[in-house]
Each structure stands twice: as C-alpha cells, then as structure tokens.
Amino acid sequence: MNYIDATFASFCGPGGLEENLPDRVKAETRRIEQENYLASERVVTMARWAADSVVQHCGVPRAKVATILPGANVELPAGFVFPDFPGRPGRDRPLVLGFVGKDWRRKGLPFLLEVRKELERLGLKAVVRCAGHGPRGLGRQAGVEFTGFIDKTREPGRFIQFLAGCDLGCLFSSREPLGISTLEFLRAGVPVAGFVVEGLADTLPADAGFRFLPTASAAEVAHALSVACGDEGRLAQLRAGARAWSPRVTWERCIKEWTELLATGRIAAPVQPWRGLELA
C-alpha cells in the first residue's frame, strides 16, 4: 500500500523538478517506481493529478488507485475562535495576503508581490505577509512582511496566529503536487487563492476562495480580488465557506477515509474540495 503526493515520472517531463537528471538515472528510477506500484495491492494518492500519473505513466490499473485528501498540519487549540476582521479589507485597512513556503520562487511569491502592486494601482491597500525568511531584496519592498521561521511543532500557537491573521491564504505555484499550506489556511477558517495547477487544484474550494488558471496575469488576479473586496456579502460567504471546510481538512478525517477504504474497498463520501462542500 502506498500513499503518495506525486510520482517520480510526473516530475521528469518538460519543466519538471527532475528534468535535469541524467536520462539513465531517470529511466532506471521510473522502472523501479513502476515495478513497485504494479506490485502494490493499492496505490493511494493525495490528489487527482498524482492518481492520473500513476495510471498514465506507471501503467497501474485505475481500479487499484484511490485518492484521499490529506489533512492540514495544524491542530487547533480547544476553544479556538475563527478570526473576525474589523473593517473592509483594502479600504479601512490593508488586505492581508498570506504566504507559506520555503521554496518561495516555485510557490509564486514574486507573482503574489505583483498582485499586491496591481491592487494598489486599483486603489486598494494590501500587504503580503510571509511565514519564514525571504531573499533580502524582497524583504526591502514596500508592503512585504516576513515573520521569520515558525516551527509548527514547537510554536503551534504562533503558526495558527499567523494563519488566522491573514485575509487570504495564497499559493500561486508553477508546479505543486498538493499544497498543504492552502489546507492549513482553510483549517484556520481563512479563504484561499491560487492557480488551478496539478495537485493544488484539489485544495482550492470554489466556495471558500479563488481559483485561477495558471495563465492568469497579476492584473487579472488583482481585479478579481478587488471586486470581492468591494462586496461585503461575497467576503462573508468566502469566510463562511472556509470555516465550513475547517473540520473537513484534518488528519482525523483522512484516517477515517483510509479506514473505510481498507475495510470496504471504497469511500462512500470522500472529502473533495474541488467538487464543493455539499458533496463532502
């Protein structure tokens, strides 16, 4: 039994993370990967994108492949209260765009900074708040805040405080097997935004955030966010959607789905954010 976020084969194509490896190394690794998956009783993936790769690149029968969304790496404390922001974001106060990720370039931080600039051109105040450390040059830009590294294990309260202090959790990755940070924002009741690319597409509920094609420009993203910021009803719906997803993006739920799959061979009502809350 395997639980994977991506196949090696999916990273070997043009633009893949492993495209620069020697051909003989890639060929042998892919052979071993295919051999192991074919010998498995079942292959379970974290996203539909990986499931498609297991079938298409590794030749595993679709009947042997299942998808179970993982949980957010966040444990909410007892008595946690979802954030309630005063004022209109972008107007009465800055719109806070949250970002989590060490691989800041691949995860789209430069693009997000361009979105912030476009928002300001539209007359909205905005700030990009990043968990972790960033390049010195980016940190000097106006409207960018780096909180420094946050150890989720040793400082869970600080990490939750960071998540809950954002209006929107953003992940505009060029490549992304899944996107745990978007699940973490949802767990804290914060709407999300990102590119519908690879596994990331599975972590962006339409009723709790913004889904953009990877061809969207920073100006197009900023326009969509500005329209939402001008509609208090829309903002309330997004926040309500994120809060409704919160109890569904946990490891406890993930384990329950695993237990059901192992016991019955199927999952009657899997949590699938891309389909909408009503089907979860």
In a domain, 89, yes or no: no
- Residues 224 and 113 occupy one common structural domain: yes
- Whole-angstrom CA distances from 114 to 64, 137, 213, 220, 236 are 43, 14, 16, 11, 26
Two structure tokens written together for 224: 């969509």
Of 4, 8, 16, nearest to 174 by C-alpha is 16
Residues 170-214 pLDDT 10s: 999 999 999 899 999 999 999 999 999 999 999 999 999 999 999
**17: pLDDT strictly greater than 50:** yes
User: Which range of residues forms the domain containing residue 222?
Assistant: 95-247
- Residues 259 and 125 occupy one common structural domain: no
- Residues 62 and 190 occupy one common structural domain: no
65-67 β-sheet, strand order: 2-4, 43-45, 65-67
In a domain, 29, yes or no: yes
**15: pLDDT strictly greater than 80:** no
- Residues 240 and 176 occupy one common structural domain: yes
**216: pLDDT strictly greater than 90:** yes
Which are the contacts of 115, defined by CB distance < 8 A and separation ≥ 6?
A: 97, 170, 172, 218, 221, 222, 225
Total number of domains in the chain: 2
The whole-angstrom separation of Cα 150 and Cα 74 is 12
Q: What local confidence, expressed as pLDDT, does residue 102 receive?
A: 86
- Residues 108 and 22 occupy one common structural domain: no
Q: Strands 126-131 and 95-100, how do they pair?
A: parallel
Two structure tokens written together for 117: 């600039």
Which are the contacts of 178, defined by CB distance < 8 A and separation ≥ 6?
A: 5, 46, 47, 70, 199, 200, 202, 203
- Residues 255 and 243 occupy one common structural domain: no
- Residues 231 and 260 occupy one common structural domain: no
Yes or no: say if 125 and 94 are a contact pair by the CB < 8 Å rule.
yes
In a domain, 30, yes or no: yes
Q: What local confidence, expressed as pLDDT, does residue 86 receive?
A: 80
- Provide the whole-model pTM: 0.93
**What mean pLDDT value characterizes the chain?**
92
Q: pLDDT-based confidence at 18, cuts 50/70/90?
A: low
Q: What local confidence, expressed as pLDDT, does residue 21 receive?
A: 77
Residues 126-158 pLDDT 10s: 999 999 877 777 767 889 999 888 998 899 999
Q: What is the mean pLDDT of residues 31-60?
A: 95
Q: pLDDT-based confidence at 16, cuts 50/70/90?
A: low
277 or 7, greater pLDDT: 7
Yes or no: say if 189 and 239 are a contact pair by the CB < 8 Å rule.
yes
- Percent of the chain's residues with pLDDT above 70: 95
Residues 55-93 pLDDT 10s: 999 999 999 999 999 999 999 999 999 988 788 999 999
- Residues 127 and 35 occupy one common structural domain: no
In a domain, 191, yes or no: yes
The whole-angstrom separation of Cα 190 and Cα 106 is 22
- Residues 67 and 190 occupy one common structural domain: no
- Residues 236 and 254 occupy one common structural domain: no
Q: What local confidence, expressed as pLDDT, does residue 133 receive?
A: 75
Alpha helices in the chain (DSSP H): 23-39, 48-56, 109-121, 136-139, 156-164, 180-187, 218-229, 232-245, 251-264
User: CA 32: distance to chain centroid?
Assistant: 29
Residues 86-121 pLDDT 10s: 889 999 999 999 999 888 999 999 999 999 999 999
**19: pLDDT strictly greater than 90:** no
What CATH number is given to the structural domain containing 229?
Answer: 3.40.50.2000
Q: What local confidence, expressed as pLDDT, does residue 145 receive?
A: 92
Q: What local confidence, expressed as pLDDT, does residue 135 receive?
A: 75
Q: What local confidence, expressed as pLDDT, does residue 279 receive?
A: 39
- Residues 234 and 178 occupy one common structural domain: yes
- Residues 211 and 141 occupy one common structural domain: yes
Two structure tokens written together for 80: 């946690």
